[in-house]
Amino acid sequence: LKCLLYGIPKTSADNFLHDNRALRIGGRLRNADGAELAFLRRKGNKETLLNPDGEPIEEGRLDPFLHGVTGELFGLLFGIDHDALVRGGRNILAGKGATGQSLFAAGAGGANLRGVLEAIEAEAEALFKSRGQLPVINMAISRHQELRKTIAALSQSSREWAEKEQELMKAMGERDRLKKSVEQQAAELNRLKRLKEIVPKAGLRKELSATLAAMGAVTLLPEEFTGRRHRAEKRLNTALEVKRQAELDLERLTADIVEIVWPQRLLDQADAVEGIHKRLGQHIKAAEDLGRLQGRLQQNKADIQALLLEVSPGLTVEAVRAMRPQAAAKTRIQTLASRHASLQSDQLRAARDLRDAERKLDRLKEDLNALDAPHDPGPLKQSLGKLAKRGDLSVALREARQVLLTEEGQVRGRLERLPLWSRTVAEPGRLPVPSPETVSRFEDEFSNGKVLADDLDRRIGEALEAQRAVAQQIGAIRLVGGVPTEEALGRDRERRQAGWVLVRRAWLQREDVAEEAKAYDPGCDLAQAYEASVARSDATADRLRREAVRVAEYAALLVQEEKITEEIEKLTSERRRVDQALAAT
């Protein structure tokens, strides 16, 4: 019955005839109200309760018949088997004649009452023994007694507490007094130490003060004077050495000049020699640039020819040069191109409007076809006539006149605000109305002017952007270092030539050129100044030769910047002209 009601255990020994999967127990239960339930029980882990057809049913279907009795309680009350009888007999024997306990256990359904009582007694002895010390309660009592003794030993009366508190306050006051005294003594000690350190310096100060007083009034020098003096002495020694060396060089050169016999024929050709010498650097640079420029020319010709082949085979450079439009034609082409774009936009807009109108017309036709046949308007006209006869026409006339006066006042106010209008209110109605062609022409001109203005603004913006880019490139080249130019080389050579003229006049013609030499270079004598001018012009020429690529790039950027500036000025002037034309329109 227990297996039928609560399930077959996993370790059931009832499979001596049938396999575990084939074990089935069937039964029929009847409740006190007469309800019946027929079911089967199979061995398994879930869905073990079946109906007579073998279909699983819920375990809750048995609850009305079990009335809350669990499997354990059912086993104690009704599930006595052979093993339970054997355990009960052994418990009676272990009771040693305690028949009451055995009967109580049997009546309560507890077969192991003796074991329960022994466990309770063991637990009680573990908690407390009358003469023991290790149980928990005994240890807690001993700890409690010890703590009470400790509290009694540490406790004091109120009188003793007040006395101790007074002693504590007195000791704290003494501590503060001693601490303050220690701080004062430490400050005094530090003062005495500083005085001890100052005593030797006081004597030195007295000696220095006496020495300073004996020196009288002197000029106070800045802190960095020593370094400045050393640097000045070093520069002075260097200048003296340079002067001495220059004097030696001057004596040597003077002796050499005296010994030199100048060919008169060569001196007669001095201007020609100077001219040839002046052009020598340019010729050398031109010869060096010739190969590079020829290569670039050939490359440009090849690029132009390739572009012409892409445009039209057989087209030559001369033909393209002849096809180049004039300035007026170029402006006309640009205007027509701008107008073409505007017309294309108008065409697309008109096509879109046409499609919208066609769709709207189709919808109106459909709505018209869906309308019923028109009715006779005769009765409606008669009704309107009757209503018109019944209305007050004088009131309507006064209202209409009031509205007319109000609108005339508004029109008069608006006409007075027009800057070029000085006529009456009635004259605008008599003015000729321009034809649609005139209005369309002015609209086209205004639209073309707006398109041209937008195009000019775009081109001006592009030119400004290109100008900024070129300026950045020029600035980047200048950051690397000064760029030598032909103008700088020309200035250096002119200065060198002027120095050479002074040298020739002083050494060959024995003229006094002291004032001119001083004006030529106030910081050096004529020989050093001329030597410096020769070195500077040679250095500039060498830099032009070494940095030919950077110089050419710099010159090209300058030319490009100038062209962009001219283009911006031209576009700005054209933009002003277009604004004036739009204002006139």
Question: Rounded to the nearest 10 degrees, what angle do helices 526-546 and 270-311 cross at?
Answer: 20
SS3 49: strand
DSSP 219: P
Question: Rounded to the nearest 10 degrees, what angle do helices 548-584 and 526-546 cross at?
Answer: 70
pTM of the model: 0.25
Residue type, 327: A
CB-based burial of residue 497 (10 Å sphere; 0-12 exposed, 13-18 middle, 19+ buried)? Answer: middle
Type and span of the H or E element at 529: helix 526-546
Question: What does the block give as tokens for 473?
Answer: 């490139």
Other Cβ atoms closer than 10 A to 529: 21
Question: What does the block give as tokens for 226?
Answer: 């020593």
Which is nearest to 261 in space by CA: 508, 501, 499?
A: 508
CB-based burial of residue 44 (10 Å sphere; 0-12 exposed, 13-18 middle, 19+ buried)? Answer: middle
C-beta of residue 113 within 8 angstroms of C-beta of residue 101: yes
31-38: long-range contacts (C-beta < 8 A, 24 or more apart)? Answer: 31/64, 31/65, 35/64, 37/61, 37/62, 37/65
* Residue 334 CA neighbour count, 13 Å, CB half: 16
CA pair distance 225, 220, nearest whole angstrom: 10
Question: What does the block give as tokens for 497?
Answer: 């030539």
SS3 27: strand
Question: What does the block give as tokens for 280?
Answer: 């020598």
C-beta of residue 564 within 8 angstroms of C-beta of residue 462: no
Sequence-distant (≥ 6) Cβ neighbours of residue 478 within 8 angstroms: none
Question: What does the block give as tokens for 281?
Answer: 């650097």
Which is nearest to 61 in space by CA: 80, 38, 88?
A: 38
CA pair distance 333, 458, nearest whole angstrom: 17
CA pair distance 339, 451, nearest whole angstrom: 7
What was the pLDDT predicted at 311? Answer: 66
DSSP letters of 271-302?
Answer: HHHHHHHHHHHHHHHHHHHHHHHHHHHHHHHH
- How far apart, in Å, are the Cα atoms of 15 and each of 23, 49, 196? 7, 19, 115
Sequence-distant (≥ 6) Cβ neighbours of residue 511 within 8 angstroms: 505
CA pair distance 304, 286, nearest whole angstrom: 25
C-beta of residue 448 within 8 angstroms of C-beta of residue 341: no
Sequence-distant (≥ 6) Cβ neighbours of residue 43 within 8 angstroms: 8, 12, 20, 21, 23
Length of the chain, in residues:
585
Tell the residue number behind the tokens 């009771």, with chain if given: 95
Which is nearest to 70 in space by CA: 59, 82, 84?
A: 59
What was the pLDDT predicted at 178? Answer: 92
Q: What is the pLDDT along the chain (585 residues), one digit of tens a residue?
A: 777 777 777 777 777 777 777 778 888 888 888 888 888 888 877 888 888 888 888 888 888 888 777 877 777 666 666 666 666 666 656 554 444 445 445 444 444 556 667 777 777 777 766 666 667 777 888 888 888 888 877 776 778 888 888 888 999 999 999 999 999 998 888 888 888 887 777 778 888 888 888 877 777 777 787 888 888 888 888 888 888 888 888 888 888 777 766 667 766 777 777 777 777 777 777 777 777 777 777 877 777 777 777 666 676 767 766 666 565 666 666 677 667 766 777 777 777 778 887 888 887 777 667 665 555 666 666 665 655 655 555 666 677 778 778 877 777 777 676 655 666 666 666 666 666 666 566 666 666 667 777 778 888 888 888 888 888 887 776 665 566 677 777 888 888 888 888 888 877 777 888 888 888 888 788 788 888 888 888 877 777 666 666 667 777 788 888 888 998 998 888 888 877 776 666
Tell the residue number behind the tokens 């006064």, with chain if given: 398
Which is nearest to 564 in space by CA: 483, 482, 474, 480?
A: 474
C-beta of residue 463 within 8 angstroms of C-beta of residue 564: yes
DSSP letters of 360-410?
Answer: HHHHHHHHHHHSPPPPP-HHHHHHHHHHHHHS-HHHHHHHHHHHHHHHHHH
Other Cβ atoms closer than 10 A to 533: 21
Residue type, 562: E
DSSP 565: H
Which sign, positive or negative, has the C-alpha torsion 271, 495, 485, 563? negative
- How far apart, in Å, are the Cα atoms of 266 and each of 145, 261, 502? 139, 11, 18
What was the pLDDT predicted at 87? Answer: 66
